Amino acid sequence: MKKRDKPEILITNDDGIEANGIHVLIELLQPYANLLVVAPDRGQSAMSHAITMNTPLHLKKKKEEEGLEVYTCNGTSVDCIKLAVNELRRGNPPDYIFSGINHGTNSSISIIYSGTMAAALEGSIHGISSVGLSVVDYSPDADFSIAKAYIPKIFDTLQQNGHSAKVCLNINFPKIELAEVKGIKVCRQARSRWVEEYDKRTDPHNREYYWLTGKFHNYEPDATDTDDWALRNNYISIVPVQFDFTAHEKINDLKILEL
């Protein structure tokens, strides 16, 4: 395995290579590590852990300079991680994976739809310390001031103290002024859901179609140990996330079903 003089970070996102968030992340991390960027060539939001099975995947090198390689892929965020680890860095995986910075929250139940967090979870599956990063701002011109102030500190803490590859971090930054940030809360995912609604319309050919809309509903708005509470109260939220979906506490209860 090739020894590196600096740690290597694999960066991806689900908003596509042209999104402002990924360029901010590259700018923030480049002073501290060698960067390998593999990102979708177009937006792949809400694709969750989807992988491409029926279409050939293509990698296109966009840039190469000292400490930075940039590729685009015509697949999903998870495709990007798989190609980077299994092809571009076969036998010499990156030290960290940072996914984001996503335009829009990935807190609470949103994590199961998120391509950003799916990429981080894929990193954990490969045994790589991984982090997903999002701002609670869906605008293409989202304000990344808080992310810029805290991401270098978070990365330094991870380097100094280590971070288990079995768990990835879901980090969300609130949409407030930097001076209003109260700090960081390590918390749990709020019990919540998106209540879907569909805007039914008719096209010029008199065919019906639908636009997905909806509202976020938190079933425990008063619980103070959740990511939703932290963000609503001016904290950065960090939720440790694992890919093991097993409800371990229920295994013994269900032993009665064994034959």
**According to the model, what pLDDT value does residue 5 have?**
82
| Strands 192-202 and 208-218, sheet pairing | antiparallel
> Measured in whole angstroms, how far is the alpha carbon of residue 6 from the centre of its chain?
23
Domains and CATH numbers, the chain: 8-189+223-257 (3.40.1210.10)
pLDDT (tens digit, 9 = 90+) per residue, 138-174?
A: 999 999 999 999 999 999 999 999 888 889 999 999 9
Strands 235-241 and 168-173: antiparallel
* Separation between Cα atoms, residue 37 and residue 26, nearest integer Å: 8
Q: Which residues of the chain have pLDDT under 50?
A: 1
The model carries a pTM of: 0.94
Query: In the block, which residue shows the tokens 């808080």?
Result: 146
Looking at residue 2, its pLDDT comes to 56
Distance CA 98, CA 12 (A): 7
How many Cα atoms within 13 Å fall on the side-chain side of residue 71? Answer: 21
pLDDT, residue 162, reads 83
Q: Which residue has the tokens 């997903």?
A: 132
Report the largest interatomic distance among the alpha carbons of the chain, rounded to a whole angstrom: 63
Res 206: pLDDT: 94
